Chains A and B, each alone.
Chain A
Amino acid sequence: MKQLILPFFMLLSGCSSVTIDEFRHSSASLHQGESIVILGRRHANNYETEPSLINCLQESMTKQGLNVIPEQQFLDEFYPFFEPRTAPLNLPGMNRLQSQERLASRMQQHKLRYLIWVDGNTETTSSVGSISCALVPGGGCLGFGSWDEEAGYESIIWDLKREVVAGRIHASAKGTSYMPAVVVPIPLLAQVETETCRGLGKQLTEFFKPQGETNNAVQN
């Protein structure tokens, strides 16, 4: 009986789907000791890329053997250059920043080769149903609710050594969560952010596997 409990709860989740599009401008591969950093864009007022997604991507790529600097560590070590209102918005801005002696030396220290910007968020787009609960002894909840979540993330990969955009990866995901309540509400959550992290993390890891050289690098 106990063996059935875990798979049962694992099945209790909403449904979600992820779509990944990759656009590779130039080859990308890491040499021995070189590192990557993944940063979330946070300059918009109405949303910000979730630190939890960035941490998840960093952990996912690290598990695959890539040397990825944790976001918060990078932001603290390179303060104040990558804060929401000071971070470079394009590659020429980043190249100008590298003229700062101390910043360039710290980058060298980390052998930082690629900077990946992830811009987007996960949001609830619609919700239906209602649940009412009675806060009295012997009371409980009754009702049904469901909501849709949509995620859209654009990743842009800067090759800091060659000073070019190495590629872009777009990830979009959708999912519906349900919450039936008969005495106790049972959330069946669609793991939209987790699924996006899984898909995007896998694609980013693939991106750094050695491939044939191409010469169509662009600078934005």
Chain B
Amino acid sequence: MQSRLLCILMLSLLLCSCSGSFKVKSQVPTPLIQPMPLTVGTYYPKELRQYRYEESNEARKEWKIEQGDAQMQMFSQVLAGMFENVVDLNQQQGAADLILTPRVEEFQYTVPRETRSNIYEVWFKYHLQLHEGSGRLVADWFMTSYGKTPTAFATSDAGGLDLAIQMALRDSGAKLLMDFSRVPEIRQWMEQNLNKSTLAIRGEQP
């Protein structure tokens, strides 16, 4: 009886270790930057709102990672700090100066046993589009972000990946905040539509 119970326990442990699922929560803080005097619309397409990573590689654990809410929270938090007014829209045109449409183009990760390092790592590649309220495309660019855990010690795979994803989300927000006005097409648009004093307040050299 005792050995049967032990077998059942070991079998359940083996089954548990082959699959895993969790939902990521974004913990990106409020940015400390001067907001631009613009009304920006956010259009979150279905593929971002319901973004879920499902592992297809048979050699890896069957991960199902829900990230849609966390991605939207991160963009909303960051954009609310970047611009004076932010409105949610359900299409790529509407009553806003600019409309941002983000999509997760690619998600990659590594766990310690694959790299023989002591860290979990995560990469995101975003496809970002910026339209004017009229629907005219202003900029279309890609942005990458990276997150890693300080150590894998005393961390489960799910805990390690969750933390690495949160670090990558934080990096995505920082990247968007710091690099937004460095995208040449956006820079050109800003120079044409924002006055010099606004750019100077933000530390941008017109």
Contact = CB atoms under 8 A, between A and B. Distances in A.
B33 A83 contact: no
A86 B174 contact: yes
A92 interface: no
B150 interface: yes
A103 B32 contact: yes
A46 B150 CA distance: 10
Given A48-B148, A79-B31, A101 B174 contact: no
Interface in B132-184: 146, 148, 150-151, 170-171, 173-175, 177-178
**Which of B6, B117, B151, B201: most chain A CB closer than 10 A?**
B151
Nearest to B28: A79
B173 A80 contact: yes
Contacts of B119: 48
Nearest to B174: A80
Contacts, number: 54
Given A86-B174, A86-B178, A101-B201, A81 B32 contact: yes
Given A85-B174, A86-B178, A50 B32 contact: no
Nearest to A81: B32
A137 B203 contact: no
A50 B151 contact: yes
Contacts of B30: 79
A85 B175 contact: yes
B91 interface: no
A46 B32 contact: no
Contact of A80 (B6, B117, B148, B177): B177
A51 B31 contact: no
B6 A100 contact: no
A205 B186 CA distance: 47
Interface residues of B, number: 25
Interface residues of A, number: 24
A102 B150 contact: no
Contacts of B170: 79, 83
Interface string A57-90: 0000000000000000001111111011110000
Interface string B19-37: 0000000001111111000
A106 B148 CA distance: 28
Q: Which 4 pairs from chain A and chain B are nearest by CB?
A: A80-B174, A76-B29, A83-B174, A79-B29
16 contacts: A46-B117, A50-B151, A76-B29, A77-B32, A79-B29, A79-B173, A80-B33, A81-B32, A83-B170, A83-B171, A84-B171, A100-B33, A100-B34, A101-B34, A103-B32, A137-B6
Given A79-B30, A85-B174, A100-B203, 12 more contacts: A42-B150, A76-B29, A77-B29, A79-B174, A80-B32, A83-B174, A85-B146, A85-B171, A85-B175, A99-B203, A101-B34, A103-B32
